[in-house]
């Protein structure tokens, strides 16, 4: 694994070196002796631009080394050349990093690009839609927020914690619209997810204080 990651990390430089050596061998000994070097160089350069170094992101993410993740993503100079599913993942990661920094405008821009490309898995695309919905609600755009969150629920968001957040958001949207029966229905669905995160549980407790007193 380490060897493979090293190859990915230095793939561009290795590709350039292989091409230069191929040209040298081609000049001195002819094309066919240089063919293998040409082939290796072209494959290395092609995979550098078409697939990128996203495989390197996994380990620093697991260790919580966000700066290293950001450094790897910033090394991708031409994301438009990435294979479509890889490009979608790239923009998702960029969006998530921007959200951590509370740069919501950049986060929204990147997540929209990812959503337009389509995520490799429906759950990943659903998670994108949920994040876009939450940002729309923060901006006070409840109509757009509802549209995104409905899409997220329909696609699936990957885990019960995120599902509970989606249902609680829908509950608040319908409370705002004074459609209390629907709000209560979404609140019950959120509780049924049995979320464990403190922030989600605090939100449930807060809503529970007044939702039982509203009609519907």
Taking only the tens of pLDDT, the chain with its 216 residues reads: 677 888 899 999 999 999 999 999 999 999 999 999 999 999 999 999 999 998 898 888 878 888 999 999 999 999 999 999 899 989 988 988 888 788 888 988 998 898 888 766 666 788 888 999 988 888 889 899 999 999 999 988 878 889 999 999 999 999 989 899 999 999 999 999 999 888 889 999 999 888 878 776
The rounded distance, in Å, linking the Cα atoms of 87 and 51 is 9
Is residue 130 within 8 A of residue 157, CB to CB? The reply is yes
Reading the block at residue 133, the tokens are 């919905």
Of 160, 124, 130, residue with least CA distance to 145? 130
R_g of the chain, CA atoms, integer Å: 24
Cα of 6 vs its chain's centroid, Å:
24
The rounded distance, in Å, linking the Cα atoms of 213 and 180 is 10
CA dihedral sign, ordered 197, 201, 206, 208: positive
* Third-level CATH fold of 54-141: 1.25.40
Would you kindly state where each structural domain of the chain is located, as residue ranges? Answer: 1-50, 54-141, 159-216
Q: How many CA atoms lie within 13 A of 213 on its CB side?
A: 5
Of 49, 50, 94, 45, residue with least CA distance to 71? 94
The rounded distance, in Å, linking the Cα atoms of 171 and 23 is 65
Give the predicted TM-score (pTM) of the model: 0.75
Is residue 214 within 8 A of residue 175, CB to CB? The reply is yes
Residue 119, pLDDT score? 65
The rounded distance, in Å, linking the Cα atoms of 17 and 196 is 52
């Amino acid at each position: 694994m380490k060897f493979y990651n090293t190859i990915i990390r230095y793939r561009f430089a290795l590709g350039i070196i292989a091409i230069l050596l191929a040209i040298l061998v081609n000049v001195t000994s002819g094309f066919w002796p240089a063919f293998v070097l040409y082939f290796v160089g072209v494959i290395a350069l092609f995979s550098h631009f078409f697939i990128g170094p996203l495989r390197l992101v996994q380990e620093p993410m697991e260790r919580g080394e966000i700066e290293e993740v950001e450094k790897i993503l910033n090394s991708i100079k031409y994301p438009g050349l990435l294979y479509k599913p890889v490009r979608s993942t790239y923009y998702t990661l960029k969006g998530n990093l921007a959200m951590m920094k509370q740069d919501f405008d950049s986060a929204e821009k990147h997540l929209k690009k990812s959503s337009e490309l389509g995520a490799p898995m429906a759950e990943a695309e659903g998670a994108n839609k949920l994040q876009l919905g939450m940002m729309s609600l923060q901006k006070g755009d409840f109509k757009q927020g509802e549209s995104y969150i409905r899409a997220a629920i329909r696609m699936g968001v990957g885990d019960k914690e995120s599902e509970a957040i989606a249902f609680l958001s829908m509950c608040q949207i319908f409370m705002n619209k004074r459609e209390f029966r629907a709000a209560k229905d979404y609140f019950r669905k959120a509780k049924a997810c049995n979320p464990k995160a403190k922030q989600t549980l605090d939100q449930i407790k807060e809503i529970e204080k007044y939702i039982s007193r509203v009609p519907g």
